[in-house]
Structures are given as structure tokens and as C-alpha cells.
Amino acid sequence: MNYLFELIKIATTQLTANKMRSFLTTLGIILGVWFVISIVSIMDAFTANLLASSAGLGPDVFQVDRYPRNQGRRDQRRFNPRIDKSVSKRLMEKCPHVLIAAAEDSKNSATLTYLDRKTNSIFTLYGAQKGFQLNNNWPIDRGRDINDDDNLSNRNVIVLGYAAVKELFYDRDPMGEYVKIDGKSYKVIGIMKEQGNQFGQNRDVQAAIPLNTLHRDFGESDRVRVTVRATAFVDRFKAIDEVRNEMRLINKDGPTEPDSFGIWTNESSAEGMTNVLNMTTLGGSILGLIALFVGGIGVMNIMLASVKERTKEIGIRKSLGAKKRTILFQFIFESSFLCLFGCFIGLVVGIFTGWIVSFFFGNPPVLPYGATLTAIIATSFIGIGFGTYPAWKAARLDPIEALRYE
């Protein structure tokens, strides 16, 4: 134990003897570890939030869209027919394992006003049928959801997200009040519960009006979609098969033709995003490892310079009986200590960077235990690997020649 403390003392003395040189030597190690840890912690936070928010539709809910999510739209735009909002009613009638089918559309970049106030946030305005809030996991805090009568009568009613209530009404009760969008008035009939940020998106900057009202006031987009809830979680695959068969009949898809529409679930959406995040993590880790390798070369060079500077010291130690393996182990230990010092700085900065970025995007901070352990092991091996040659040169010095060195 005393021998280990002595090695640490010598390594610390060499590290602090020339602080700037030590810092510049370990800069490659610091940057490599910082890059790997920050990338991994950010991607882990995104992945954790993605998996948590992937249940936004609910485990028994899926969506029918005009275009498959995993393919480009350019070619399909010419062939895939638009989904009519009446499809939701047909799916409810024809598919035994469908509990709710609600068509929806949206208008982006909507600004809401109340009296002389307007929202600072840019809202997404949804056109909804009955069941929209339930299917999209946007629970109502007060009031009610859009219903069938609202759509049949083209009513000017609106359900507000939490951000609109906060930005427009302050402490005033919004229920029964009228807000305006592009000069058109809508009566507040419901308020959504606060959702917060999920995967970098604010789920509180939403509002919903009847789908027929949206199309009357703002026109119909080419992306009407139907959100479907199965009768039970265990029946979701049966419901998907029933909906797929019915949609193929509606779109008149031939027996050998692919689906002219897309169906996506939480699992498929999360899987695609997770693959992207994993590839990003892999790419960042490779760049970090390259930086670590470059840092290892820098450590080897500084250790060679240290051997040259300490030639007389090595000669004195060998003349006093120090063995080759003792000198060898000492310099390998110093090299590893230098690398681990840089690793520690890189870990602290990397974790801190990851937490800041995660906080900015509303993701929970994640401590990447696996990447941290890998970084420590990798830098230890780099210290040993790149310190072996300088240590070998130091151990092979002739004590007489070393004592004569000036």
C-alpha cells in the first residue's frame, strides 16, 4: 500500500511540476472523453424521453396516415389518395376490434388572441372528432372534449392547451370566454391538463376545434389522418389487421399492390427514432475514440520527453538498486495516471454538458454509467498502451550512462 501511495505521490508531483504542459498533453483525452460522454448522455436522455413519450397515443392506439412514416412522400404524393374524414365512421362500423376512430387535421403556426392579449407561443390548432383527446392522451382538466354535435353543427368551440390559458387569461377563468384565431371567434368549452415538454416538444401549445369547423374556416389539408383505439391492448393487432383490410377496400388497392396508406404505432415510431439516436451515438463515440487515440499519442510523446528529462534521476535510482520492472511500472503508472486525470476532467465536463442540453430540451438528466465505465477502462488501456514504450526506454537505460547525462 505504501508503494502505491509513493507512486501516486511521484505521479502527482510530475503532473503539477508543469501544469500547462500536463493540461495540453491530456487535452486530447479530455476532449475525447467529453465528446463521448456528452453525446451518450444526451442521446440516453432523448431515448429515455422518447420511450416515455412514445406512449403519447397509448399502447392500444395507432394512426392511419396518407403516407407511411418510414418512406418519402414525393413519389407517393401522386398516387396515395387522401383520407376522407368519413373513414373514421366506417372503421367504427366495419371493424369489430376498433373502439374509437377519430379523424383529425391540423393547422400549424396559429396565434390565439383574447381581448388585447395574444399568445407568445406558436400553437398547433387541431381539427378533431369525438375521441381526439382520449386517443392522443391529452386529458381534459376542466370542461369537455369535442363531440359529434360540435362537428354536425360546425360549432365555433375550442379546447385550449395549458399554455394558452397561462398566456391569455392569467388568473381569470377561461371557461365560456371567446378567443380569436385569424379574426374568427371560438368559445372555450374545455381546458387540457398541463403536459409539459416531451422529446423537446411542448405539448401545452395545442388547441382543438371541431374538424368540420377547421375545414370550413381554414380549409382541408392533404394530411387528414385517423387515430384508432382498439377495444383492448391484447386486441390491437387484430384491430390493425381489420383497419388495414378496410382501408385497402376503401382505396381499391389490388391484391398484389402495396398499401396506399400508412399505419404506425408507438412501437414503430419509437423504434425508428431509437435507431437514429443509436446511429448518432455510434458516430459520436467513434469520433471520441479517435480523439482519445490522438490524445494517447500526445501522452506517449510527453512521457518520452519526461524520460529524457529524468535520465539522471533514473540513473541514480538504478545505481541504488532499483530493478528494471520497478522503473517500467513507475512510468506506466505515471502515463495511466495522466490519462485518468484527463478522463476525470472529461467525465465531469461531459456529464455537465449532457445535463445542460437535456434540460434545454426538457429531457430528464441521465448519468451514462456504461459509457463512464467504458471511458475509464479505455483511458486506462491508452495510458498503459502508449506509456509502455517510454517506460521500456526508461527501464533499459544504462545507469552509468544515465548518471553522466547532462
The pLDDT value given to residue 243? 94
Mean pLDDT for the stretch of residues 92-110: 92
Q: In the predicted model, is pLDDT for residue 189 greater than 90? A: yes
**Spatial CB neighbours of 38, under 8 Å, sequence gap ≥ 6:** 349, 350, 351, 353, 354, 357
The pLDDT value given to residue 156? 96
Band (144; pLDDT cuts 50, 70, 90): very high
The pLDDT tens digits for 302-329 are: 888 877 877 777 777 777 777 788 788 8
**What is the chain's mean pLDDT, rounded?**
82
E strands, 204-250, where? 206-210, 225-230
Band (187; pLDDT cuts 50, 70, 90): very high
The pLDDT value given to residue 369? 82
Q: In the predicted model, is pLDDT for residue 47 greater than 70? A: no
The pLDDT value given to residue 27? 82
The pLDDT value given to residue 40? 81
C-alpha closest to that of 61 among 102, 93, 96: 102
Region of poorest pLDDT, from 52-61, 123-132, 259-268, 301-310: 52-61
Total Cβ atoms within 10 A of residue 19: 9
Q: In the predicted model, is pLDDT for residue 333 greater than 90? A: no
Contact 260, 253 (CB under 8 A): yes
Q: In the predicted model, is pLDDT for residue 76 greater than 70? A: no
Task: Tell me if residue 263 falls in helix, strand or coil.
Answer: strand
Contact 271, 72 (CB under 8 A): no
The pLDDT tens digits for 244-277 are: 999 999 999 888 888 889 888 766 655 566 676 6
CA 70 to chain centre: 18
Q: In the predicted model, is pLDDT for residue 97 greater than 90? A: yes
Contact 266, 55 (CB under 8 A): yes
The pLDDT tens digits for 361-398 are: 666 677 788 888 888 888 989 988 888 888 888 778 77
Question: Which H helix or E strand runs over 124?
Answer: strand 123-128
Band (36; pLDDT cuts 50, 70, 90): confident
Band (218; pLDDT cuts 50, 70, 90): very high
Band (405; pLDDT cuts 50, 70, 90): low
Q: In the predicted model, is pLDDT for residue 198 greater than 60? A: yes
Mean pLDDT for the stretch of residues 185-204: 82
